[in-house]
Amino acid sequence: MKAGLSQNTQLKQELKINPRLYQAMDLLYMPLLDLQQHLKQELLNNPFLDMVEPDEEEEETEEETATEAEAPAEEEKSSNDEIDWEEILLDGFDAGGRREEHEEREYYEPVTVDSRNLSDHLMDQITLLDLTPRQQFLADEYIGNINEDGYLACPVEQILSGVNDEVIRAAEAVDRDIDDLPLYTRQEVDEMLTIIQNLDPPGVGARDLRECLMLQLREAGLEQSVPFRLVRDCFDELINHRWSEISKRFGISPADVQKAADEIKKLDPKPGLMYSDASDNYIIPDLIVEKIDGKYHVFLNDANLPRLKLSRAYQEIARDKKKFEGENKEFISSKLNSANWMIQAIEQRRQTMLKVMNYIVDRQRDFFEKGVQHLKPLTLREVAEVINMHESTVSRVTNEKFVQTPRGVLPLKFFFSSGLSTTQGEDVSARGIKAQIEKLVAEEDAKHPLTDQAIVNILKESGVQIARRTVAKYRDQLGVLSARMRKRV
């Protein structure tokens, strides 16, 4: 081969997406609160955007929409006169007093108050104990390794190794002889673990679920009780509901074993979560479905969403062909076009969401009337074909969006599920089948629980064709135990 440089021509096709198309897709994807913040930021960044006042009439809005279409054409005409952009950008937001008035009514998010977590709660208790500095250091190491569930997240051996490594590093920093260091012993570490496990909440500092339950029973003064013995001596049989084996081993009736197991169920498997610092997540629905005069109507819940329009003051600047040229013209053209596009994109988002939700309401009317068992199968593709949009667009519209309905606040994804066929040739939603399984299990005889095959037979009697393995899969997804595990004696 001969090395060298060469030139050649080639034809190829490339798909390039306009940056504004990316922005439009992002707007569809945004939940209501994120969109609020995004629009507020746009109002700060783009001087050509303004907010529509609540008392403005629709006729005025229509006039401004017409003006929006005229402004880009007129902005191309410019003159040689310079304009004081600094003065405009500083003072222009007060045009007509609109922006300033609206800021007084601006919605502010509630400030999150700093909350105390499990570590803080444990440290407060440690400070009340009469500990030496050596013990305090060891206690800090333990608390730092307790996770939010309240469990010790590392082996005791690792705690011992960690504190001794710190002692050695501290000695090396001051050139102290390592051979004479007072290293921690396993006895000290075990004694401190006992102190930690005696703190509130009961069960904290446990190394596994079994130890956590034993600590709680001991704290309740039930160390000599049957529940404590079950957890201590036959934990595997207990979690597998082997009542007969435990009954024979302890010489008590299966009913007493089950009664003891019921007491154990009342204990907290994750005691640390009561001090979790996780903030509450509040849901604000993007859409509202209301039944009015026998008909379901869909509304957008966008009362707190800023309504955008083009600022009149800046439109006048853009129209004045004697005011700008060069970079000023480019700035005006860019910002005005961006503002005009943003207004159109938000309106398109509103219309798309209404189209999607209106079809969902029409398709799932039986659900709104009769409940989840009457939910019909629905796919994104089906909705996309009906409203003449791409499937990915529908996916973005339904992502992380919630709707307030007469049957509660639900995510839009709730209405989409696969389907099963019935003997009548109709389709039924997989989510509806799960609801039926859940109801059957809730109403069953606890002494004779329904097996998966029994559930299959009952569903077939109601016209639903379903396999036993599908019932088992849905049961697992619902967190329902098998018939053997649900059986009461």
pLDDT, one tens digit per residue, over 338-361 is 888 888 888 888 888 899 999 999
Helices (H) and strands (E) in the chain, counts: 23, 8
Domain boundaries, the chain: 19-106+311-343, 419-486
In tens digits, what is the pLDDT along the chain, a chain of 489 residues?
567 677 777 776 654 545 566 566 777 777 777 887 888 888 888 777 777 765 554 545 455 444 444 444 444 433 334 434 334 333 333 333 333 333 343 444 555 555 678 999 999 999 999 999 999 999 999 999 999 999 999 999 999 999 988 888 887 777 776 666 788 999 999 999 999 999 999 999 999 999 999 999 999 999 999 999 999 999 999 988 888 899 998 888 988 999 999 999 999 999 998 887 655 567 888 899 999 988 999 998 877 777 777 777 776 776 766 666 666 677 777 777 888 888 888 888 888 889 999 999 999 998 898 888 788 888 888 888 888 888 888 888 888 889 999 988 999 988 887 766 665 555 677 888 888 888 898 888 888 888 989 998 988 888 888 888 988 988 988 888 888 888 887
Q: Quick one: tokens of 155?
A: 């082996």
What's the CA gap between 201 and 411, in Å, rounded? 35
> Coil, helix or strand for 116?
coil
Beta strands 287-292; 402-405: pairing state: parallel
Contacts of 425 by beta carbon, 8 Å cutoff, 6+ apart: none
Strand (E) or helix (H) holding 419: strand 419-421
> Domain 419-486: which CATH class?
mainly alpha
Q: For residues 223, 229, 231 and 236, what is the CA-based torsion angle, rounded to 10 degrees?
A: 170
Task: Calculate ∠ Cα 200-203-208, nearest 5°.
Answer: 150
What's the CA gap between 274 and 170, in Å, rounded? 37
Q: Which residue in 404, 210, 368 sits closest to 294, CA to CA?
A: 368
Backbone angles phi, psi at 102, to 5 degrees: -70, -30
Tokens 């084996």 map to which residue? 245
- Judge residue 24's burial from the number of C-beta atoms within 10 Å of its C-beta, 0-12 exposed, 13-18 middle, 19 or more buried: buried
Provide DSSP, 300-319. E--TTSPPEEE-HHHHHHHH
Amino acid making up residue 268: D
Q: Which residue in 129, 162, 153 sits closest to 205, CA to CA?
A: 153
Q: Which residue in 421, 423, 458 sits closest to 437, CA to CA?
A: 458
